[in-house]
Structure 1
């Protein structure tokens, strides 16, 4: 298992990323829950999960 922190480059929301290398996952993409910016494109070779840990202030991004 690998753990890392990821930040959205658009709105600066923070995520905890957990990757299970021993388990296959689903191919697809993960988009920021706050602004919709694509964070990662996954090929499904591992199981990846994201959890929002730092919500940005409303003044740090604009739609």
Structure 2
């Protein structure tokens, strides 16, 4: 089993991808469950499973570093 991560280019939802190296599959495509955009498509006979790890609305926003205190 080969594991990897992918992020939706539209809504930035994070997914974990499991790809079988021994079981045959079929060509396919998968869409983001949050926004519906195409995450991936493949023509080779691979068995792949996508799992939503973190929807974009649950990700932390960027936090700016506060300035150093003045002594």
Instruction: Identify the TM-score tier after normalising by the shorter chain.
Output: 0.7 to 0.9
TM-score (norm 2): 0.74
Partner of 2:42: 42
Structure showing greater Rg = 2
Write the distance in 2 (CA, Å) between the matches of 1:27 and 1:46.
7
CA RMSD of aligned residues (A): 1.5
TM-score (norm 1): 0.82
The higher relative CO (CA closer than 8 Å, separation ≥ 6) is in 1
Structure 1, unaligned runs of 5 or more: 59-63
Count of equivalent residues: 58
- Partner SS, residue 57 of structure 1: helix
Structure 2, unaligned runs of 5 or more: 59-71
Partner of 2:13: 13
